Structure 1
Amino acid sequence: MAFADANELLCQIERIGVDAERGGYSRPVFSEPEMELRRWFMRHAERRGLELETDGNGIIWAWWDPAGLGRDGAIATGSHLDSVPGGGNFDGPLGVASALAAVDVLVGRGVKPARALAVAVFPEEEGSRFGIACLGSRLATGVSDPATVHGLTDARGITYDEAARGAGFDPSLIGPDPERLAALGAFVELHVEQGRGLIDLDRPVALAGGIIAHGRWHVRIDGRGDHAGATRMADRQDPVVVAARVIESLREQTLAIDEARGTVGRVQVTPGGTNVIASAVDLWLDVRHRGDAEVRTIVAGVTAAAVAAAEAEGCTVTVTEQSFSPTVDFDAELRDAMASALPGAPVLDTGAGHDAGVLSEVVPSGMLFVRNPSGASHTPAEHAEPADVAAGVVALADVLEHLLTR
């Protein structure tokens, strides 16, 4: 049977979750677009004879074990299918489509594996719905507390549990899965590059060195709502003024530290009327740096500025950490093994978080990056040329063959 290659697989999903307002794709976890993508993946896994299961955290595992070797020491690969609002079609789906295509390459080569292979699909990697990135892998590894996750709500006030049940999942099953993860010998994630490293090197594929530290913080500012025309400037307690200082401070703090990154990409003003002084503002900080301490320093500085601005304006402010992932240096032994399968491949760090980074605490993990000619990600401009997609599949197949047969 002839199977679609990775480029064809990506073409099959290019109309799923199109966001007519933002452009690109919006595929939040447990939404109909994300569920359609999960069904798409499972259909293709079944056509390849892969054994499917979905665990209590909503992670799909598709097993290739032609020799019936069992799951001890298995090698896993895969990525995610959810997206940020208005994201591209490569961030996540490229890794999933490439994993399926790599299985085809291994079968076509007649590879006789000495251990099983799992293709995994992780939910809520982006954290775009419930605010915690890599939520599926964080639950599986025990990094995220199920009690906290049960109480998470999305922008519409829908709880995690309500959304999970609505999509056919039992939220009472979420939580650590140490036995499953302990059985894995390694995890390798292929991902479109989120940056310009491969463009500048003029190479199609790279190995990952590490992931810089990153975290998310929720800032809540409460003031006093009032009439925009009837309330004098001196009488206001305006949380938007405080929010502006928070955003300004974040920029100041990150510019003061070389290679730091700070972003406010989401702001909610309540009640949101043009002629209404706001009663509250919610905004979210995304802060990243190679050093964990530098990230903490930036957030501490922003928090101090927020408190000072709130006091001056007669408002109150609360800063809550939603997630923090320390700097990840991927397993050196695994990277050496991957490099032996891909001699001469460059090694690049990334500023983006990934499930591989979370899993690296309990499973030897590594990553492959495929060139993105725009260098842009989390935007419709994200892209990978067909030839580079094909090169990524071959590279992934080479790595998996090396790991499966040694």
Structure 2
Amino acid sequence: METVSQLLESISDVGRDTVRGGYSRPVYSTAELDLRGWFVEQAGRRGLEVETDRNGIIWAWWGAPEKGALVTGSHLDSVPGGGAFDGPLGVASALAAVDVLRQRGVQPNRSLAITVFPEEEGSRFGVACLGSRLLTGAIDPDKARNLRDADGNTFADVSRGNALDPEHFGRDEEALARIGDFVELHVEQGRGLGEEGPAIAVGSSILGHGRWKLTVSGQGNHAGTTLMQDRADPMVAAAQIILAVQKTAAAQPDARATVGRLEPIPGGTNVIASRVQLWLDVRHPEDAVTAALVEAIHGKAQKIAAFEGCSVTLTEESYSGTVHFDAALQRQLENALPGAPVLATGAGHDAGVLAGYVPSGMIFVRNPTGISHSPEEHVEDDDADAGAGALADVLEGLL
């Protein structure tokens, strides 16, 4: 029987990013495909029957696929330069939990499946939790098919190159009916558990959050021949907009707003950009406040752009309202894990998407630094093993 740490060590060289540090494993990259192959191989070792559905979600079954099954799992893709635990910890823990249940001699009363969802981070095609959104119908299949990565490849073309038929994307009633309960284990992406006390927590809710693209358009020109007073420089406007985002969010209690990606076009050192694209992430527990924040940011951006002789447009790329996990399932998790604190999270997860359609819940494993989406993300070996044991306890109670 392999521990969670041993399972993660076996993939520790996959997708290492020598430039950013950490791991870069965008969906359907060589690294992510290698991880998907690793999961299929690990599931096969355990005698689990593996299938990939029409939306690219992998299912590994203990027992025959059936309606109302118990499902657990997470994702294997990462943000650029991400940590080792965000996603893979949940997958490795699910495999280890199956080992624990078998060691205990558990005979399931219903089937159990481990799932791997594609493009949870949205780091390649811009929409987070794309696999679970397709499964549930939370995204229009045409929109998904036409999403493009940084190289201009559509999600449809990339999926087709990986043995999927994009014409079959979309809500899958049969697959949804198979999920009786969904429980996702994930590294904690904050310091709610701290360095002392329990290593495990039960999730209660996910903050409402979304992604928007601001496109600032100006006049591209020569950096050496264009006088400062003659410029309509979208980069100057973009810099001021980023500061306005920070100030707007800081003035609103419990709000978080981030510009984590900026792309000047054409991007030459000696070129005044013709336009600059900024990707905005905004989060707040109250959906109305999130909407108001985005509106306020857009209004300030328009004024800033106009002052610099530029214009700005705002496009919503994805949005998920605040999610409260199924109350009955949460009580069952709390009963199975006495003493585990209950935490809300500001991070999005596939469990949050599924929660609108099937009973869903989450377990968090301590991250002593509180740092995530970064190479410094960390889980101690003992805490990882405790997480797998906790997941096994929960699954046993639900089986």
Same fold (TM over 0.5): yes
Aligned to 1:121: 116
Pick from 176, 182, 185: which aligns with 1:181? 176
CA RMSD across the alignment: 1.1
Tell me which of 46, 55, 60 is aligned to 2:53: 55
- Aligned residue number for residue 359 of structure 1: 354
How many aligned residue pairs are there? 399
Q: Does 1:156 align with 2:154?
A: no
How far the C-alpha of 1:114 sits from its partner, in A, is 1.0
Amino acid at match of 1:4: E
Q: How far is 1:201 from its partner?
A: 5.5
Name the residue aligned to 1:278: 273
The answer to whether 1:75 aligns with 2:73 is no
Specify the SS of the correspondent of 1:199: coil
Aligned to 2:255: 260
* Contact 1:134 1:354 (C-alpha < 8 Å) held by counterparts: yes
Closer, same or farther: CA 210–201 of 1 in aligned 2, 3 Å: farther
What is the distance in 2 between the residues matched to 1:214 and 1:200? Answer: 27
C-alpha distance in structure 2 between counterparts of 1:370 and 1:215, whole Å: 25
Matches within 5 A, 1:1-400: 3-65=1-63, 70-199=65-194, 202-400=197-395
Cα distance between partner residues in 1 of 2:260 and 2:306: 25
| Partner Cα separation in structure 2 for residue 71 and residue 164 of structure 1 | 26
Q: Give the letter aligned to residue 87 of structure 1.
A: G
Q: TM-score when scaled to structure 2?
A: 0.98
SS of the residue corresponding to residue 393 of structure 1 reads: helix
Runs of 4+ in 1 over 6 A off after TM superposition: none
Does structure 2 conserve the Cα–Cα contact (< 8 Å) formed by 1:250 and 1:298?
Answer: no
Query: For the residues of structure 2 that align with 1:4 and 1:393, how far apart are their CA atoms?
Result: 11
Shift of 1:313: 2.1
**Which whole-Å CA distance do the structure 2 matches of 1:358 and 1:160 have between them?**
20
What SS does the aligned partner of 1:197 have? coil
Write the letter of the residue equivalent to 1:173. Answer: H
Q: Secondary structure at the match of 2:116?
A: strand
CA drift of 1:237 comes to 1.1
- The separation in 2 between residues aligned to 1:291 and 1:176, in whole angstroms, is 27
Q: Secondary structure at the match of 2:194?
A: helix
Report deviation, 1:200: 5.6
Question: Percent identity between the aligned chains?
Answer: 59
* TM-score, length of structure 1 as denominator length: 0.96
Q: Quote how far apart the aligned CAs of 1:245 are.
A: 2.1
Give the whole-Å Cα distance in 2 for the aligned partners of 1:306 and 1:388: 44
SS of the residue aligned with 1:138? Answer: helix
The secondary structure found in structure 2 opposite 1:83 is coil
Alpha-carbon separation, structure 1, partners of 2:45 and 2:110? 21
Q: 1:96-121, CA deviations, whole angstroms, 9 ceiling, x for partnerless residues?
A: 00000000111111111111000000
Question: Cα deviations across residues 7-49 of structure 1 (Å, max 9, x unaligned)?
Answer: 1000000000000100000000010000000000000101111
Q: Do the aligned partners of 1:262 and 1:288 also contact (CA within 8 Å) in 2?
A: yes
Indicate if the aligned counterparts of 2:127 and 2:317 stay in contact, CA closer than 8 A.
Answer: yes
Write out per-residue CA displacement over residues 330-376 of structure 1, whole angstroms, 9 at most, x where no aligned residue.
00100001111111210000010000000000010000000011110
Offset, 1:235:
1.5
Quick one: distance in 2 between partners of 1:49 and 1:381? 35
SS at match of 1:186: strand
Determine helix, strand or coil for the equivalent of 1:352.
coil
- Contact conserved, 2:73 with 2:91, CA < 8 A, in 1? yes
Tell me, yes or no, if the aligned pair for 2:258 and 2:282 is still in contact at 8 Å: yes
For structure 1, the 5+ residue unaligned runs are none
CA contact (8 A) 1:35 1:167 kept: no
CA shift digits 1:80-111 (9 cap, x unpaired): 00000000110000000000000011111111
